[in-house]
A and B are shown apart, each in its own frame.
Chain A
Amino acid sequence: MDYAVTVNNISKSFDKTKAVESVSFNVEKGELFGFIGPDGAGKTTLFRMLTTLLLPDGGEAFVDGFDIVKDFKKIRGSVGYMPGRFSLYQDLSVEENLKFFARVFGTTIEANYELIKDIYVFLEPFRKRRAGKLSGGMKQKLALCCALIHKPGVLFLDEPTTGVDPVSRNEFWEMLGKLKEGGITILVSTPYMDEASKCDRIALMQKGKILDIGFLNDIISKYEKPVYALRSGDMHKLILDLRAAENTDSVYSFGDYLHYTDRRGKAVEEDIKKILISKGHTDLVFKQINPGIEDCFMSLMNK
């Protein structure tokens, strides 16, 4: 067993809500593994169980070879964890926060400076500034530094890019890529589908269950139906008309376009166009596109 994280049928309920339901997966050492799903999918609960903050109701899991229930103390000393909310001391400066967390783990900033160097250069100019006064992106970078300062074997990042601007998000993922090259196993959760491509493997989560797990391309290639992107002068009417159409499989709005799939599979373009024109749509744009992770997610969700 050479996995960094092994999870077998783990479950967790709060009162009557099943937050995580029989989830199983393995994460290989040095892998960048992403959990993708909307709010309430169970990502945070799963992470909290793996970081020993919550006890599972059933199933078992091992992190770095340690049982999450019996060996929780060992796990607490060896993993790095960055919770979803910004959880550093706002009234301490950047440097003080980092120093504090280094000492908590019995190490120093200097000892592991190599590891955080690339990230810390961004923070260096602000090292005397209070953490509470940093921008969102900077806060995330500081939190990552603090989670990394003791050179953890496995790093858990719970929605690190939520509420961060797109530029900082990109920078953040680049950093994760570098850390992965350094040999750290990283588990990261995110509600943003487009971040799936930055991970080695992903697990799509919804309502406490894993819908699919694997490499991004494998998940997408399982999706065989042609996907059409549509738009017209009246988008609201378009969505209603398509939903009412006889052979409609699914209609979702994605940005400026609607994504449409048809139950019949192929060669339906002319037919759909005819229907829509007869309903009085103008400026009609209609094209077949390659399915994305969102399309896969939507179709898995409805299964």
Chain B
Amino acid sequence: MKRFINFVWKELLHILRDYRTLLILFGMPVAQVLLFGFAITNEIRDAKIAILDFAKDNTTREISNKILSSGYFMLYENLQTPSDIEPAFRKGKIKEVIIFEPDFGANLERDGKANVQLVADASDPNFANMVIGYTTSIIADYQSELSKGKTLPASINPEIKMLYNPNLKSVFMFVPGLMSVILLLVSAMMTSISITKEKELGTMEVLLVSPLNPFQIIVGKVIPYLLLSLVNTATVLVMSKFVFRVPIVGSLPLLIAESTLFLITALSLGILISTISNNQQTAMMISLGALMLPTIILSGYIFPVENMPLILQWISNIIPARWYIRIVKGIMLKGVSFNYIWMETLILFGMTVFFIAVSIKKFKIRLE
């Protein structure tokens, strides 16, 4: 046991001495949360629009005001003629032009019907869709205010409720994925690099010709990174809760327990990578290429798994992060209990056992 503690102590010294890596390890989660929380977002905030109002009556003014005071849109300019529309988009500043037909208010009064045209810049299709969606719903809102108290012919009013993320904040979606990426990166990459480093520097040779057994060497390598990753998990959770108000609806102990399980999965994956690579560079390439990319793309972190081609959906099944993300979303946003995530937990557990078994089998107690 003393030997083991000695080994962990040495490993901690390595980590603490490498200031630059340490800074990256602790700085990365903070930077990523801030980045995803503030910068990379699917929400619309102050999108610049132009208005071409042929009517210039009370009704159009009211609608315009309603749209511009929503917080989603900002008036960039008022256009005078239809020929201004194209150049306005060309300048690249505005995302949408709203065109009211002449006598808009009068038409609405007389016929109960008036036309408004929405033109959007679809060079970014997702954004264009959202802009149109937001505008349409504001106009619909105005319409329903108008018709209050009047008896209308039969009409259907869909009442929409967005569960678990009522404001559709994108940070809700990013936090679970971000946690899995950070944990995977720190745990898998750092352990695999630190084991291969010993091989590369030749210190593994000396360690092997000593009474330390492989189990002590491996677990001794893993423990410091386990601690480090737990600190990172806490950082991400605290930041997302207090900076972005992402709720933790479910049980925090359960979330921590599941995160620890995923950490161990990632660490065992790191050990596995180190047993098949002979130098730090290979270990890094495998970690980045074979772990990071699939985790970001196929885990449901950014793109929903359900929308992928069937074959990619199959592949996504073997990506540990996919299951972890489901667990985190379940606990944090939906507040589910263990009963709802036992299958995902079991899959992660099975993967961990598999990785550990293979690494022990592949760990070389000699140099060959």
Contact = CB atoms under 8 A, between A and B. Distances in A.
Interface of A: 48, 51-55, 73, 76-77, 79, 81, 83, 85-92, 96, 100-101, 103-106, 146
Contact of A106 (B10, B17, B203, B211): B211
B203 A89 contact: yes
Most buried by A among B205, B206, B210, B212: B206
Nearest to A48: B367
Contacts of A48: 367
Nearest to B207: A104
B362 interface: no
Size category, B interface: 20 to 34
Interface of B is mostly: helix
Given A53-B205, A83-B205, A89 B211 contact: no
Contacts of B212: 104
Nearest to B368: A54
Contacts of B202: 83, 85-87
A87 B366 contact: no
Interface in B1-28: 2-3, 6-7, 10, 13-14, 17-18
A53 B10 contact: no
A260 B134 CA distance: 97
A81 B212 CA distance: 14
Contacts, number: 74
B201 interface: yes
Interface of B: 2-3, 6-7, 10, 13-14, 17-18, 201-203, 205-212, 366-368
A76 B209 contact: yes
B206 to A, nearest CB: 5
A91 B13 contact: yes
A87 B202 CA distance: 5
B3 A103 contact: yes
A54 B366 contact: yes
A55 B368 contact: yes
25 contacts: A48-B367, A51-B209, A52-B366, A53-B205, A53-B367, A54-B366, A73-B211, A76-B208, A81-B205, A85-B202, A87-B202, A87-B203, A89-B14, A92-B13, A92-B14, A96-B13, A100-B6, A100-B10, A101-B206, A101-B210, A103-B2, A104-B211, A104-B212, A105-B210, A106-B211
Given A89-B14, A100-B10, 20 more contacts: A51-B209, A52-B208, A53-B205, A53-B208, A54-B368, A55-B366, A76-B208, A77-B210, A79-B209, A81-B206, A83-B205, A83-B206, A90-B201, A91-B13, A92-B13, A100-B6, A101-B206, A101-B210, A103-B6, A104-B7
